[in-house]
């Protein structure tokens, strides 16, 4: 499901969700900022809080108020947090991005490095936060991280580095290789325990092009990654001027 919000005194934005869900786990605003939220398991109950904002409340505030990565980071630093999360933020107008590892006890940023990429699954890696999440990390998170490394890092045999346009990202999201065994899951598998990027039971998938304010969504039939990715223009949906038609309209 796609929700378009045009808040009074805020930035118009799109939120991608699923039936019955209104929370902004993924979204993009008209300033070209994208925000996505991944869950992280806290080290223990002591690494959670009964006060502050939830992960999706923070994401919603960022989409409403932040016009750049710097503004988003300033808000993150000032936000009281209830629980742990991994938040990926990209700034399409300034070609910047970072992954924020968030806990009620602190936070850290992992920024795009000299290799041009930064990526995450569901465990912390920054030195400042490495002891704040579950240890050891779940095998599913470690597997999927290793596969992302193989597909994103330059000079790797299977790397798509240099081809990370929306079509390249969709190829990655449809990848069914278990990096620990080299085996490929069948295309009709919905959830095999997270042994690959495409087989962890996702309910929808979205790819963003914040420079053009376009996004593509796969949903409906399962497995979701095998469905077509339908394109949308945030500017057009929000009634903004100079809206450009999304191209291509569909990734089969």
* pLDDT of the residue at 20: 77
CATH 3.40.190.10, applies to 2-251? no
* pLDDT of the residue at 112: 92
Instruction: Look up residue 4 and give its DSSP letter.
Output: E
Residue written as tokens 């079509």? Answer: 167
Cβ-count burial of 224 within 10 angstroms (0-12 exposed, 13-18 middle, 19+ buried)?
buried
* pLDDT of the residue at 58: 94
Instruction: Look up residue 63 and give its DSSP letter.
Output: H
How do the pLDDT tens digits run along the chain, 252 residues long? 899 999 999 999 999 987 777 789 999 999 999 999 998 999 999 899 988 899 999 999 999 999 999 999 999 999 899 999 999 999 999 999 999 999 999 999 999 988 999 999 999 999 999 999 999 999 999 999 999 999 999 999 999 999 999 999 999 999 999 999 999 999 899 999 999 999 999 899 999 999 999 999 999 899 999 999 999 999 999 999 999 999 999 999
* pLDDT of the residue at 142: 97
Bridge-based pairing of strands 229-233 and 250-251 is: antiparallel
Beta-bridge mates of residue 215: 208, 232
* pLDDT of the residue at 1: 84
Distance separating alpha carbons of residues 121 and 110, to the nearest angstrom? 13
- Domains of the chain, residue spans: 2-251
The H-or-E segment that residue 164 falls in is: none
Q: Is-contact 51 41, C-beta < 8 A?
A: no
Token reading at 163: 């081809």
Bridge-based pairing of strands 229-233 and 33-39 is: unpaired
Q: Is-contact 218 169, C-beta < 8 A?
A: no
* pLDDT of the residue at 151: 97
* pLDDT of the residue at 109: 98
- pTM for the model: 0.94
Distance separating alpha carbons of residues 247 and 216, to the nearest angstrom? 10
């Amino acid at each position: 499901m796609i929700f378009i919000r045009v808040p009074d005194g805020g930035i118009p934005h799109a939120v991608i969700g699923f039936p019955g869900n209104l929370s902004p786990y993924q979204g993009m605003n008209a300033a070209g900022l994208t925000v996505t939220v991944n869950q992280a398991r806290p080290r223990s109950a002591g690494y959670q809080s009964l006060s502050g904002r939830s992960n999706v409340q923070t994401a919603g505030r960022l989409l409403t108020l932040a016009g750049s990565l710097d503004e988003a980071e300033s808000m993150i630093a000032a936000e009281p947090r209830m629980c742990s999360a991994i938040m990926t933020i990209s700034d399409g107008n300034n070609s910047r991005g970072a992954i924020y590892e968030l806990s009620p006890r602190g936070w850290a940023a992992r920024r795009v490095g000299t290799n041009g990429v930064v990526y995450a699954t569901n465990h912390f890696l920054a030195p400042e936060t490495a002891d704040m999440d579950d240890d050891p990390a779940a095998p599913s998170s470690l597997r999927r991280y290793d596969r992302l490394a193989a597909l994103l890092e330059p000079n790797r045999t299977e790397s798509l580095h240099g081809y990370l346009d929306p079509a390249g990202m969709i190829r990655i999201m449809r990848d069914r290789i278990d990096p620990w065994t080299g085996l490929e899951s069948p295309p009709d598998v919905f959830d095999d325990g997270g042994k690959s990027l495409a087989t962890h039971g996702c309910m929808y998938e979205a790819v963003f092009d914040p420079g053009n304010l376009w996004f593509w969504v796969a949903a409906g039939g399962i497995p979701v990654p095998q469905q077509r990715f339908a394109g949308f223009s945030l500017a057009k949906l929000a009634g903004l001027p100079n809206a450009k038609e999304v191209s291509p309209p569909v990734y089969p």
